[in-house]
Structure 1
Amino acid sequence: MRALALLMFLAATLPMAFMRPIVGLMLWIMFSYMNPHRIAYGFATSFNWVMITALVTILVTLVHRDQRQPLRMTPVMVAMTLFLIWTGVTTIFAVESDLARAEWVRFFKILLMAYFTLILVIDRQKLHWVLWAVVISFGFWGFKGGLFTLLTGGGYHVLGPIKSFFRDNNDFALVMCMTLPLIRYLQLQEPKRLVRLGLWALMALTALSVLGTQSRGGFLALGVTGIMLIYKSRHRKSLILVVPVLAIALAAFMPQEWYDRMNTINQYQEDQSAQGRIDSYKFATSLALSNPILGGGMRVWANQGMWNMYGPPGAKHRAIHSIFFEVLGEHSFIGLILFIGMLVTAWLSLARIRKRTRGSPELAWMGDLASMMQVSLVAYMGAGSLLPMPYFDLFYQLLAITAVLNVMVERAARGVVDESMVLSRPETEMTTATSPQPARRRRRSFVSDRQATGGKDKAAPASRNATQNLPWW
């Protein structure tokens, strides 16, 4: 029944993608991130939903020239492309050639859709559609995991969907920590009170699902994410009161077994899991020092002979549990520099967006999104330091969204801003209701406004600041 329902859903929505390729991108996000086919049965579990939605999106984008923009190689996209090229070079000389080629092809597909995100997301409305698709996809599992933890008293581990890239409890915790800031951003922009309250509930259940994973790395990442949410949020003073109360309430709900596991964080010398991670770091470092140019290629850690050669004596071969050390071992120092370069470039780009939109009520939403995406990057770097996820889908999707924001800011800097970039839907409705003439989409020049007012900034209409006056919750 679930398989049939999923097939009917695709049959009803996929034709829309032939008219609007952004719909195809949203479908790809849903099947890639939510993995609804993983909770179905029969043919649905093996049907290649992701490939079909991706192919349709790519082909239709090439046809509809009016619904796309040129691929702009912003600094973030340049850094991402250089990393893709270098991983391709190391794959040619990889120790585990077959595994490396398969992993690189998967990585290439992830970045290909990131490029198409930049091509298709041409205004604020489409950007919000993509963000809602991401939040609903991961939020479904956050809601489900938080509710499961609530009903079972936190006595069981919360896991991701079967055969997904975040099935493991540690990976699931990372995904949820990165999703929390995106939920907060949509909450800041949402004018409807009930939807804002619903997003609050989703944030609480998502945070509870992280605790339910019983992942020690996830617990630390959640703490860092909470602190950064307070620091980066527009309503900082209010969150200082709410977040600690929520944290105490969630922690008080967890059973004693959860506390016993968290207390082992400072006993890493006696913990086999922690010691195995340290062994993998030593293996990656030794391998990189012996092969400082190319490293061992993707999935080199799967080779027992390489572990015998470069790993600590008696160490058990396993995945390298760190985004940084895995890149170091697989792509050596050049790859690590490029990987860190992506992170630094993204952070600086987001900081630049925040700076350039500060003081502009019309573009304040860009500053909010940039701030929350910085929180997601911190969550990725924090939790990812203990996890083998350097080729994680959501991270590269966030890089693409960073590039989208860069393009929009540059467009505003040239003095031409699309009305859809400035106004939210409720504001547009308000303008229509109060104006004797129908509201029309137009293009507005910041330069002409300044000239018309003698060099002073033109006062924004009251309706234009409607979202800025929303209550913090």
Structure 2
Amino acid sequence: MRDIIVFLAIAALVVQIPKRPAIGVMTFAWLSLMNPHRLAYGFAFSFPWVAVVAGLTLVSLYLRPGQIKLPKTPLTIVLMVFMVWMTITTPFAFEQERAWEEWNRVMKTLFFTLVTIAALNNEKDVKQFALVVMLSLGFYGLKGGVFTLLSGGSSRVMGPPGTYIADNNDLALALLTIVPLVWYHYLQATKRWMRWGFAALALLTGAAVLGSYSRGALIGGAAMMFMLWLKSRHKLKTGLVVLMILPLIFFLMPEQWFGRMESIGEYKADGSAMGRVNAWHFAFNIATDNLLGGGYRVFTPRMFHIYAPNPYDVHAPHSIYFQVLGEHGFIGLALFLAFLVISWRTGSRVLRFCKDKPELKWASDLAAMGQVSLAGYCVGGAFLTLAYADLLYDVVIILVLLEKVLIPKNWKPKQHPVSAAAPQPPILESSRA
């Protein structure tokens, strides 16, 4: 029965893609983030839905070339250069089979990031895309939050099997990232029941993050909550909601949860934490010795025996930064960091454009919450291997689309006029006078 429901739901969207490519890229985002077919057990589980949706979307765009509008901004240019660099490093990867398999997956994600930016062209598209991203993972926030409440936090919240959020730590970072998007929809809701619903979803998603027992997500959550308060236009109301989370933690979570969180300060006695440090040293060593890095998925026992301080303590990088450094070298890391910085600055540019424009308050809120999501991902991602996960690029897509839809091509921020009271340079009289 579940297979039939999933099949019909996806099929209902698929048949509309030839008429409207925007539906295709949004369906692609839904499938990539939520993986609804992974909740089934029969034929729907293994059916190549993503490939079908991607193919139909590209055909639909090909038949409508006028709808393809990829802005040439610093962000899209850096992203394409990053893709080219990772393609250059792959033929020289130390683990060829693993590297090309990962290259195929990553390039699909980044290519469709560009396709999505090109296919969505108006305010309605931006709002719908933000809603799709939020609901796709909000489902697991709702589900995980209820599970945490009912279990008293005694069991870990896990993601759907066979997806990039299957691991409890990865799921926690994904849920952490969408909390600001939930809050954006709370700010925009006009009906009381909708506001209460989004507020409840935000709290339940927070509970699901706690129920994941992820220490990295706890650190990222603290940074994100501060940014959420800082970026909110209702600081008092937002601050009260943030403070409500503290008693929730103390009354909800069991002693074993606090014991695990306290181990953050005792990382030297934690084998898992020291394994991550060993992997970080490995990434630095291999990048120092190889301009191109080690290639995708180079964190293997064979390579650890060559570059790791402890060759027998093999770990995944557990950091988006050391992941890129180890796989694509210092140049790859520089491009990745530039991509993140420019993404943040894109949000700031949107905020400056929307300032003193009440009709664009929705865009200002979305840009601010997009930045909060980005900050949470960057902080939490410092401890997780998710440099190429779809969610990061979907958040960036939202910021780029706001710039694309709202800001004229030649717009520049207004310069503050020189104060009349400011000292003026002296007027020099001609010596010939």
TM-score (norm 2): 0.92
Residues 413, 365 of structure 1: alpha-carbon distance in 2 compared, 3 angstrom cutoff: farther
Question: How many angstroms does 1:350 deviate by?
Answer: 1.1
Deviation readout 1:120-154 (Å, 9 max, x if unpaired): 21111111111111111100001000010011111
Partners of 1:384 and 1:244 in 2: CA distance: 24
Partners of 2:335 and 2:10 in 1: CA distance: 38
Moved more, 319-328 or 309-318: 309-318
What is the aligned partner in structure 2 of residue 210 from structure 1?
209
Q: What secondary structure is seen at the aligned counterpart in 2 of 1:71?
A: coil
What is the aligned partner in structure 1 of residue 339 from structure 2?
342
Unaligned runs of 5+ in 2: 413-433
Partners of 1:190 and 1:65 in 2: CA distance: 35
Q: 2:368 aligns with which of 362, 366, 371?
A: 371
What is the aligned partner in structure 1 of residue 294 from structure 2?
296
Quick check: 1:309 aligned with 2:306? Answer: yes
Q: What secondary structure is seen at the aligned counterpart in 1 of 2:269?
A: coil
Quick check: 1:116 aligned with 2:122? Answer: no
Deviation readout 1:364-406 (Å, 9 max, x if unpaired): 2222111111111111111110011111111112222222122
User: Contact 1:225–1:379 at 8 Å: present in 2 too?
Assistant: yes
Question: How many angstroms does 1:298 deviate by?
Answer: 0.7
What is the aligned partner in structure 2 of residue 219 from structure 1?
218
Partners of 1:334 and 1:290 in 2: CA distance: 13
Pairing of 1:163-182 with structure 2 (within 5 A): 163-182=162-181
User: Contact 2:160–2:166 at 8 Å: present in 1 too?
Assistant: yes
Quick check: 1:70 aligned with 2:96? Answer: no
Partners of 2:409 and 2:234 in 1: CA distance: 26
Aligned partner letter, 1:243: V
Partners of 2:128 and 2:393 in 1: CA distance: 17
Question: How many angstroms does 1:235 deviate by?
Answer: 0.6
What is the aligned partner in structure 2 of residue 432 from structure 1?
none
Question: How many angstroms does 1:65 deviate by?
Answer: 4.0
Question: How many angstroms does 1:357 deviate by?
Answer: 1.4
Aligned partner letter, 1:253: L
Partners of 2:150 and 2:235 in 1: CA distance: 32
User: Contact 2:278–2:310 at 8 Å: present in 1 too?
Assistant: no
Q: What secondary structure is seen at the aligned counterpart in 1 of 2:317?
A: coil
Question: How many angstroms does 1:352 deviate by?
Answer: 1.6
Partners of 1:413 and 1:79 in 2: CA distance: 20
What is the aligned partner in structure 2 of residue 146 from structure 1?
145
User: Contact 1:74–1:406 at 8 Å: present in 2 too?
Assistant: no
Q: What secondary structure is seen at the aligned counterpart in 2 of 1:16?
A: coil
Question: How many angstroms does 1:190 deviate by?
Answer: 2.0
User: Contact 1:283–1:307 at 8 Å: present in 2 too?
Assistant: yes
What is the aligned partner in structure 2 of residue 248 from structure 1?
247
Partners of 2:378 and 2:367 in 1: CA distance: 16
Aligned partner letter, 1:383: G
User: Contact 2:158–2:168 at 8 Å: present in 1 too?
Assistant: yes
Partners of 2:235 and 2:388 in 1: CA distance: 33
Partners of 2:411 and 2:156 in 1: CA distance: 52
Question: How many angstroms does 1:243 deviate by?
Answer: 1.3
User: Contact 1:158–1:213 at 8 Å: present in 2 too?
Assistant: yes
User: Contact 2:324–2:387 at 8 Å: present in 1 too?
Assistant: yes
Q: What secondary structure is seen at the aligned counterpart in 1 of 2:268?
A: coil
User: Contact 1:347–1:374 at 8 Å: present in 2 too?
Assistant: yes
Q: What secondary structure is seen at the aligned counterpart in 1 of 2:111?
A: helix
User: Contact 2:299–2:314 at 8 Å: present in 1 too?
Assistant: yes
Question: How many angstroms does 1:412 deviate by?
Answer: 8.1
Q: 1:404 aligns with which of 401, 409, 416?
A: 401
Aligned partner letter, 1:191: T
Quick check: 1:328 aligned with 2:358? Answer: no
Q: CA RMSD in A?
A: 1.5
What is the aligned partner in structure 1 of residue 27 from structure 2?
27
User: Contact 1:279–1:315 at 8 Å: present in 2 too?
Assistant: no
Residues 11, 325 of structure 1: alpha-carbon distance in 2 compared, 3 angstrom cutoff: closer
Deviation readout 1:35-58 (Å, 9 max, x if unpaired): 111111111111111111111111
Residues 414, 296 of structure 1: alpha-carbon distance in 2 compared, 3 angstrom cutoff: closer
What is the aligned partner in structure 2 of residue 428 from structure 1?
none
Moved more, 73-82 or 203-212: 73-82
Deviation readout 1:76-117 (Å, 9 max, x if unpaired): 111111111101100011011111111111111111211121
User: Contact 1:177–1:379 at 8 Å: present in 2 too?
Assistant: yes
User: Contact 1:233–1:371 at 8 Å: present in 2 too?
Assistant: yes
Partners of 2:245 and 2:385 in 1: CA distance: 30
Q: What secondary structure is seen at the aligned counterpart in 1 of 2:229?
A: helix
Aligned partner letter, 2:405: M
What is the aligned partner in structure 2 of residue 160 from structure 1?
159
Partners of 2:411 and 2:200 in 1: CA distance: 40
User: Contact 1:77–1:399 at 8 Å: present in 2 too?
Assistant: no
Question: How many angstroms does 1:12 deviate by?
Answer: 2.4
Residues 19, 276 of structure 1: alpha-carbon distance in 2 compared, 3 angstrom cutoff: same
Structure 1 stretches of 4+ moved >3 Å: 412-415
Partners of 2:52 and 2:166 in 1: CA distance: 23
Partners of 1:185 and 1:117 in 2: CA distance: 21
| Sequence identity percentage | 39
